[in-house]
């Protein structure tokens, strides 16, 4: 298969000023720092790489077991294990840069200040082309409720990160809220340059033979094809609520899945757990989108974004 | 490496253990004992079950370009795999992981296998024998009809002592009750110092660990964990280990392991 299916098909997209050669990224936490998958696929073909969530200090993460398979999906409770922002800049960034693919740093903090400090260090060390702010993290100063489930906390984080950096700021929304459009509007008002959605859905499983929670952390995040209809619905709702570019994800395992998100309003997509099933998943999605565009007479990805809203 | 391999042969060894031989020269060429392959178990194009299953390389033949997997049906994934047939293709990643280190010159490998845990140790024994090192194997099974791969190891020239829990074959009891005796036998015959290699259920691994710590014998164990990526990216398969400086930290079974120095593991 080739990426140049048709000379007229242009897969490139622009997300908040970041130029991607195609609209397909790999989602945070499912692709490490890029090098892990280099033996299995051509990493340089990706539209962008989103790093594992980075925190100010190194984090050890949650006790195992951290993985539990569910119907067409999986639960994970990794718990933000990461080497910390400084080790990322020193040890992981050089190899990541060598792929010559835009790098989006996913960041997380316990406090608003921490988010801002990570953003500042990323900018001053040229550690990323854009920042993805994971607001699913618990807000330690407000009783551990996720920043992303309270519009005021979300606004505080986004404003602080925007002040700390001139890099494009993508805010990653959690689906574990009653009204995702409300949070999306709040983030837009606070100056977000783009939104990505969705993060994992909170879930749990019981190991009936050990008669205890399957995950060491009890709760975990559900991902994979099982969550796709929920994610597509949320992209649809957020598209109607804001004018920002959206990055859609949640259960993408084929180009058909990716097109659902694009037609629902996403300007780009990310493949997460789909890579676990097939390391070449993102590549198949890129090629498939190109083929679909050629077959259906679309010259630019932007011509398809949100089209399903108009064809209702 | 990520590839599709043709199934050359597929057969049941016992009522729930299967052997699958694959044509995959790339994997056979570079496979090291203790490494595994990450196998897609869903039908092609299906995402249910979503995750691959890690299976040890039980044998690899470079000249024929073949790799053999031996697995026990324990759930949905392994049942699906057992339903696959010769001439079909399966999708796999590998070889993956940090395998067993060879024993130091003059040392005698004492190989301790529990049940299906004999799969990676079979490959290890073949590799050792091919360089003129004779392993002493103690292999435990619950009963005679569960016994696997022993005949082959004997044929290659390994010394094998079988132990069954119900005494239906070989000695009766648990493998771990016989480690000390085997070590003494090795000492009296060859005067070589023992190095231990083990794979099996957690209880067995814990006993092996205690024995190694008590006697100071250097041991390597192959451990298991549920996996998603199999590449080191997701951090889903971690276990707690002790570093040389005495701190505890999480390491990934898929790439940092699956074989660990027994002194580094924390009681599982
Ligand atoms: C590095 C490595 C090498 C392995 N090599 C072999 C091998 O050569 N032959 C073999 O038969 N098995 C091997 N296993 C175990 C094998 O991967 C599991 O039995 C398999 O994934 C179970 O899948 P399932 O869908 O059939 O079972 P599931 O329905 O997922 O689970 C059923 C049972 O299996 C256990 N289980 C599930 N996944 C794992 C896992 N990854 N590790 C350990 N237990 C698990 C569960 O606790 C449960 O009791 C290996 C595991 C690892 C990590
Ligand atoms: C193992 C694992 C680790 C993840 N780690 C992060 C993370 O560090 N930060 C983050 O914002 N999202 C993280 N996610 C969420 C994914 O980026 C993605 O939003 C989610 O899995 C839905 O997409 P999918 O169904 O394609 O996997 C993680 C997901 C998985 C499965
Ligand atoms: S399975 Fe993903 S890091 Fe080991």
Contact A40 B93 (CB under 8 A): yes
In this complex, which of B42, B233, B250 lies closest to A61 when CB atoms are compared? B250
Q: How many CA atoms lie within 13 A of A234 on its CB side?
A: 29
- A202-216, B7-21, B32-46, B181-195: segment of lowest average pLDDT: B181-195
- Whether residue B221 has pLDDT greater than 90: yes
In a domain, A51, yes or no: yes
pLDDT digits (tens, 9 = 90+) for A270-299: 999 999 999 999 999 999 999 999 999 999
In this complex, which of B1, B50, B233 lies closest to A74 when CB atoms are compared? B50
The answer to whether A87 faces chain B, any CB pair under 8 Å, is no
Alpha-carbon gap, residue A92 to A94, rounded angstroms: 6
Segments of chain A assigned E as strands = 13-15, 18-20, 24-26, 48-50, 67-70, 73-76, 103-107, 130-134, 138-139, 145-146, 169-172, 194-197, 201-203, 206-207, 212-213, 220-223, 246-249, 268-271
Q: Scanning every residue of chain B, which has its alpha carbon at the shortest distance from the alpha carbon of A81?
A: B235
Alpha-carbon gap, residue B57 to A99, rounded angstroms: 31
Any idea which ligand is nearest the CA of A223? 2
**A139 C-alpha vs ligand 2 centroid, how far in Å?**
19
Q: Scanning every residue of chain B, which has its alpha carbon at the shortest distance from the alpha carbon of A251?
A: B47
pLDDT on residue A1: 45
Any idea which ligand is nearest the CA of A107? 2
Q: In Å, how far are A14, A122, A231, A236, A259 from A264, measured between CA atoms?
A: 18, 32, 10, 5, 8
Contact B225 A278 (CB under 8 A): no
Residue range B163-179: mean pLDDT, rounded: 95
The answer to whether B229 faces chain A, any CB pair under 8 Å, is yes
Tokens of A129: 């082309």
Computed over every residue of chain A, the mean pLDDT equals 95
pLDDT digits (tens, 9 = 90+) for B83-104: 999 999 999 999 999 999 999 9
- Whether residue B268 has pLDDT greater than 90: no
Residue range B143-153: mean pLDDT, rounded: 97
pLDDT digits (tens, 9 = 90+) for A70-112: 999 999 999 999 999 999 999 999 999 999 999 999 999 999 9
Contact B46, B40 (CB under 8 A): no
- Please list, residue by residue across A187-215, b when 16 or more beta carbons sit within 10 angstroms of its beta carbon and e when fewer do: bbebebbbbbbbbbbebebeeeeeeebbb
- Cα of A60 vs its chain's centroid, Å: 22
Q: Is B97 left (phi over 0), alpha (psi -120 to 50) or beta?
A: left
pLDDT digits (tens, 9 = 90+) for B205-219: 999 999 999 999 999
Q: Is B188 helix (H, G, I), strand (E, B) or coil?
A: helix
Which 172-201 residues of chain B touch chain A by CB within 8 A? none
Residues with CB under 6 A from ligand 2: A 27-30, 52-53, 76, 78, 80, 106, 134, 172, 199-200, 223-224, 227, 249-252, 271-274; B 234, 236
In a domain, A24, yes or no: yes
**B54 C-alpha vs ligand 1 centroid, how far in Å?**
7
Q: In Å, how far are A89, A259, A299 from A13, measured between CA atoms?
A: 27, 14, 12
Residue range A1-5: mean pLDDT, rounded: 50
Domain with A163 in it: what CATH number? 3.20.20.70
Domains and CATH numbers, chain B: 2-96 (2.40.30.10), 107-267 (3.40.50.80)
Contact B2 A224 (CB under 8 A): no
pLDDT on residue B185: 87
| Domain assignment of residue A236, given as a range | 13-61+80-208+222-310
Tokens of A208: 């009936």
Tokens of A277: 């099933």
A137 is catalytic: yes
pLDDT digits (tens, 9 = 90+) for A178-187: 999 999 999 9
The answer to whether B227 faces chain A, any CB pair under 8 Å, is yes
Task: Give the residue among A13, A14, A2 at the shortest CA–CA distance from A298.
Answer: A13
In a domain, A213, yes or no: no
In this complex, which of A61, A65, A276 lies closest to B50 when CB atoms are compared? A276
Alpha-carbon gap, residue B45 to B115, rounded angstroms: 33
Which residue puts its alpha carbon closest to atom 19 of ligand 2? A199
pLDDT on residue B12: 97
pLDDT on residue A5: 58
- A29-43, A109-123, B110-124, B186-200: segment of lowest average pLDDT: B186-200
* A215 contacts: CB under 8 Å, gap ≥ 6: A62, A65, A66, A68, A75, A77, A204, A205
Contact A253 B47 (CB under 8 A): yes
- Whether residue A3 has pLDDT greater than 60: no
In a domain, A50, yes or no: yes
In a domain, A217, yes or no: no
Computed over every residue of chain B, the mean pLDDT equals 95
In a domain, A74, yes or no: no
Provide the pairing of β-strand B194-199 with B171-172. Answer: unpaired
- Whether residue A2 has pLDDT greater than 50: no
**B84 C-alpha vs ligand 1 centroid, how far in Å?**
17
pTM: 0.95
Total domains present in chain A: 1
In a domain, A247, yes or no: yes
List the A220-223 sheet strands across, edge first. Answer: A67-70, A73-76, A220-223, A201-203
């Amino acid at each position: 298969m080739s990426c140049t299916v048709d000379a007229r098909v242009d897969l490139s997209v622009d997300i908040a000023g970041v130029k991607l050669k195609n609209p397909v990224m790999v989602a945070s936490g499912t692709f490490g720092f890029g090098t892990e998958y280099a033996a299995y696929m051509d990493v340089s073909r990706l539209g962008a790489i989103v790093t594992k969530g980075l925190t100010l200090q190194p984090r050890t993460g949650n006790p195992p077991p951290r993985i539990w398979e569910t119907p067409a999906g999986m639960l994970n409770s990794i718990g933000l294990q990461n080497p910390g922002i400084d080790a990322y800049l020193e040890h992981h960034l050089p190899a990541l840069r060598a792929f010559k693919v835009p790098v989006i740093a996913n960041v997380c903090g316990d406090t608003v200040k921490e988010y801002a400090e990570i953003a500042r260090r990323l900018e001053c060390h040229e550690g990323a082309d854009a920042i993805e702010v994971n607001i699913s993290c618990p807000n330690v100063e407000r009783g551990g409720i996720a920043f992303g489930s309270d519009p005021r906390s979300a606004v505080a984080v986004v404003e602080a990160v925007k002040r700390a950096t001139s890099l494009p700021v993508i805010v990653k929304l959690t689906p574990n809220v009653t009204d995702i459009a409300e949070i999306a509007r709040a983030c837009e008002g606070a100056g977000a340059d783009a939104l990505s959605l969705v993060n994992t859905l909170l879930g749990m499983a019981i190991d009936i033979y050990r008669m205890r929670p399957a995950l060491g952390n009890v709760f975990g995040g559900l991902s994979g094809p099982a969550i796709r209809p929920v994610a597509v619905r949320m992209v649809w709702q957020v598209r109607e609520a804001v004018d920002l570019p959206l990055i859609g994800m949640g259960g993408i395992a084929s180009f058909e899945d990716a097109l659902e998100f694009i037609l629902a309003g996403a300007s780009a997509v990310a493949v997460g757990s789909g890579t676990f099933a097939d390391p070449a998943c993102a590549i198949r999605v890129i090629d498939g989108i190109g083929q679909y565009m050629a077959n259906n007479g679309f010259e630019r990805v932007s011509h398809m974004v949100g089209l399903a809203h108009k064809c209702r | 490496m990520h590839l599709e391999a043709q199934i050359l042969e597929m057969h049941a060894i016992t009522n729930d253990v299967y052997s699958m031989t694959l044509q995959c020269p790339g994997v056979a060429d570079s496979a090291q004992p203790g490494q595994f392959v990450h196998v897609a178990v869903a039908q092609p194009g299906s995402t249910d079950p979503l995750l691959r299953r890690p299976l040890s390389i039980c044998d690899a033949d470079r000249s024929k370009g073949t790799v053999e997997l031996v697995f026990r049906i324990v759930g949905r994934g392994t049942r699906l795999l057992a339903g696959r047939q010769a001439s079909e293709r399966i999708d796999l990643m590998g070889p993956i992981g940090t395998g067993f280190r060879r024993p130091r010159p003059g040392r005698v490998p004492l190989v301790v296998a529990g049940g299906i845990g004999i799969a990676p140790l079979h490959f290890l024994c073949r590799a050792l024998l091919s360089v003129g090192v004779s392993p002493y194997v103690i292999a435990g099974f619950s009963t005679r009809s569960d016994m696997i791969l022993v005949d082959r190891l004997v044929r290659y020239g390994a010394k094998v002592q079988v132990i069954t829990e119900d005494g239906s074959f070989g000695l009766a009891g648990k493998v771990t009750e016989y480690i000390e005796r085997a070590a003494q036998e090795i000492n009296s015959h060859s005067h070589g110092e023992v190095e231990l290699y083990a794979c099996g259920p957690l209880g067995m691994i814990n006993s092996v660990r205690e024995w190694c710590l008590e006697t100071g014998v250097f041991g390597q164990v192959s451990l298991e964990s549920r996996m998603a990526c199999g590449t080191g990216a997701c951090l889903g398969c971690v276990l707690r280990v002790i570093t040389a400086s005495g701190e505890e930290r999480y390491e990934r079974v898929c790439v940092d392991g699956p074989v660990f120095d027994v002194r580094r593991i924390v009681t599982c």
